[in-house]
Structure 1
Amino acid sequence: RLLARHPILLDELTRTAASFTATDWAEERRLLAGECAALGDDTERLMDLLRHFKQRHVLRLSIADVEGELPVMALSDELSALADLLLDVVLGFAGRAVFGGDGLSPPPGFAVVGYGKLGGKELGYGSDLDIVFLYDESRNDEAEKLARVAQRVNTWLTSHTAAGVLYETDLRLRPDGAAGLMVSSFPSFRDYQAKRAWTWEHQALTRARYCAGDAALGERFERLRREILSAPRDGAKLRAEIVAMRDKMRGEVKADSRDLKHVAGGVIDLEFAVQALVLAESGRHPSLLDNKGNHQLLNRAGEMGIVPKEVAAAAAEAYLALRARTHAASLNDEEHPLLAEGELAAERAAVQALWKAVFG
């Protein structure tokens, strides 16, 4: 599909190495910066350049994936690093449009936080980017301009050009959701998380991380994330709220009962179980605060005896199988992959055993 839409990538196909080597993203950033500099401030051509850059790398990664040279987690690491790089580049151009400058570096005191699959470094080929924009309180007087930066970032990502779209985005995880401000000062974000956020928003925070922009602000965010997640909670109440949210989702989603994401023992069930473990246990087990992905967190929970080790290990391996199926579906242009009769039955049973161990 990618080649059909963008024949220019055929040249990349002929240059792809016989065996995959991990990407030097710092070097790729340097090379991309040179290509961008040659285009000056021609926004349309810069947008197309970034889209072709992404498409070349996705093609290279998909070839390695199909040939079995790239494990599931390594593939997602690469796709997530690609997204981080492009977010940082786009943020630089958005900052230039509002504040001036050369566009080679993002504006100070402004950061992009990734949630969901981006935040957990578990991106797939067609994943949206769940992002939140934060700014340092030292820039309160420029809040309106920073909101324009955020809007321009979103436009750069989502605009449809001759080269396609860079990424679809979801900005609804910001404080107060779609009704909230496009950008949040760090103090207002901190207060929201501490005083007004719902349990499901803290679930989302388990998979959040700094992705682009001001690194010092990113470090402040990570310290806050750990503080919020490790706060004391009533375990029984927490689990009841998460189960209620999962039941509500099942009632609201009009999906086929075989849908890989929503099926019993599917991806969402596993993610909710891991999020419950982080929120309930990270105060006593700080290593669960590390944003290392569901697979590693499950294994840690098993090693620490929070859930039976064999249950955690089986669920962790099941998660890899579910993710591999998701990647394959994306390559085959399946928007909502459906499981065949009996497909991944053992893996789904492992996830259901985890659910029982966590929620009873």
Structure 2
Amino acid sequence: MHGCQSSKETDGKKAIDSRQFYLKLAQRLLHLFTTRTMSGELYEVDTRLRPSGASGLLAINIETFYEYQTTEAWTWEHQALVRSRIVAGDDILAKRFDQIRLSILSTSRENDVLTKQIAEMRTKMHDNLSKETEELFDLKQSRGGIADIEFISQYLVLQFAEKHPELTKYSDNIRILNCALELKLIEQADFDSLTQAYIEFREHYHKASLNNAKKLLSVKALPTHIGQVRKTWTRLLG
């Protein structure tokens, strides 16, 4: 995102439309992030998550982003916004992004509608992405796995941030769950089981990544964690 309000030409040696400049800058950064070297890829970037998906521009004005989030974005895109944060950029732009993020995440939502939309997206993800078998548990996509915990955290923010904006402060799951615990939105048992499961799932996931192995584990390896996550999901999201 950028804060450019006009299409005036840049003042460099080869002047181009300022909006075209930001597009080329985004393309250059994407190239640097995703170029495969002997040490692997620096950072995996999923550009499909940008506004309007594959048909959208790689770089847009921040107010255009705000309008899109307000009028067009789907619930799953607001879920993605829960996890978003500024990592680099102009201070004024970063402050405006934080204002937009807070405004969108704090919007009033009907609980029945929200839980239905989140559950439908989770089912779609599982059906299309899970590599599980009868014997193997997909650490990310199987029901009771990492994605379920992420979706639970995102649900808590989207449903309760209107009354408790402090839920939007952090973008990581454990601190969101800890905030929800402090606000008495979940019980201590929920917090303990979700965070313990998340930490252990992530440990196995990272080890598999380092070994270039599949993110699968025997279904018998972590039955307690899996069952507890599924139980919490059912209670909160049906």
Same structural fold, with TM-score higher than 0.5 when normalized by the shorter chain: yes
State the identity as a percent. 37
Match of 1:204 in 2: 80
Q: Which is bigger in relative contact order (C-alpha 8 A, separation at least 6)?
A: 2
| Alignment counterpart, residue 149 of structure 2, candidates 270, 277, 284 | 270
The alignment's C-alpha RMSD in Å is 1.7
Match of 2:170 in 1: 291
The answer as to 2:206 corresponding to 1:339 is no
**1:82-231 pair list within 5 angstroms:** 134-138=1-5, 140-141=7-8, 142-161=18-37, 164-231=40-107
**Distance (whole Å) between structure 1 residues aligned to residue 27 and residue 110 of structure 2:** 39
Alignment deviations for residues 18-44 of structure 1 (CA, whole Å, 9 cap, x no partner): xxxxxxxxxxxxxxxxxxxxxxxxxxx
The answer as to 2:232 corresponding to 1:354 is yes
**Distance (whole Å) between structure 2 residues aligned to residue 354 and residue 318 of structure 1:** 12
Match of 1:302 in 2: 181
Alignment deviations for residues 239-268 of structure 1 (CA, whole Å, 9 cap, x no partner): 011111111222222522421111120001
Match of 2:194 in 1: 315
CA shift, 1:202, in A, is 0.3
**Distance (whole Å) between structure 2 residues aligned to residue 159 and residue 299 of structure 1:** 37
Match of 1:21 in 2: none
Gaps of 5+ in 1: 1-133
Question: Scaled by the length of structure 1, what TM-score is found?
Answer: 0.60
Match of 1:30 in 2: none
SS in 1 for 2:231: helix
Matching residue's letter, 1:210: I
CA shift, 1:176, in A, is 0.2
**Does structure 1 conserve the Cα–Cα contact (< 8 Å) formed by 2:82 and 2:157?**
yes
Matching residue's letter, 1:194: T
CA shift, 1:158, in A, is 1.8
Alignment deviations for residues 180-223 of structure 1 (CA, whole Å, 9 cap, x no partner): 01111011101000110000000000000111122221111011
Number of residues paired by the alignment? 226
**1:13-32 pair list within 5 angstroms:** none
**Distance (whole Å) between structure 2 residues aligned to residue 252 and residue 161 of structure 1:** 30
**1:1-20 pair list within 5 angstroms:** none
**Distance (whole Å) between structure 2 residues aligned to residue 139 and residue 166 of structure 1:** 33
Gaps of 5+ in 2: 9-17
**Distance (whole Å) between structure 2 residues aligned to residue 348 and residue 341 of structure 1:** 9
**Distance (whole Å) between structure 1 residues aligned to residue 82 and residue 222 of structure 2:** 27
Shift in alpha-carbon separation, 1:322–1:202, aligned structure 2, 3 A: same
**Does structure 2 conserve the Cα–Cα contact (< 8 Å) formed by 1:301 and 1:307?**
yes
CA shift, 1:309, in A, is 2.4
